[in-house]
Amino acid sequence: MVTHIKAHAVFQRDGSDLHCEMPISFATAALGGDVEIPTLDGMAKVKIAAETQSGRVYRLRGKGVKAVRGNSYGDLMCHVVVETPVNLTERQKELLREFESISRGDTAKHNPRSKSFMDKLRDFFE
């Protein structure tokens, strides 16, 4: 007998672990905050650290599925996706332009991935 598992709209299964994307706002990524995410048991609160980057994974222990052979539960792995704001008002655009101009002077301090990318490019062309 072959069993087929239907794809879920939110979770992807990996053994007894579950994975999901956790979209957060730019402000929450930069400043930190609490985000509620769905689990198989209902909603859970995840505390997002300040300066969180896309791709960071938060693990919720025991929030996966029950192991096939055993009594333990897997973990829920929440993959952070920082969302870029859309449909901005003129005031929001103005504030972001101001933020960009203030940050431009010290890119390495404020944009760690950009700095390492530029270092790699420089090394490549030398």
Residues 78-112: tens digit of each pLDDT = 999 999 999 999 999 999 999 888 887 665 566 66
- Give per-residue pLDDT as tens, 23-65: 999 999 999 999 999 998 899 999 999 999 999 999 999 999 9
Mean pLDDT, to the nearest integer, of 13-18?
Answer: 89
- DSSP string computed for 14-65: ETTEEEEEEEEEHHHHHH-EEEEEEETTEEEEEEEPTTPPTT-EEEETT-S-
Domains, in order of start, for the chain: 1-84 (2.60.260.20), 86-126 (no CATH)
- pTM of the predicted protein model: 0.74
Q: How far does Cα 119 stand from its chain's mean position?
A: 25
Q: Which tokens in the block code for residue 28?
A: 């929450």
Q: Is 121 exposed, middle or buried (0-12, 13-18, 19+ CB in 10 A)?
A: exposed
CA 15 from centre of chain:
21
Written as one letter, the residue type at 66 is K
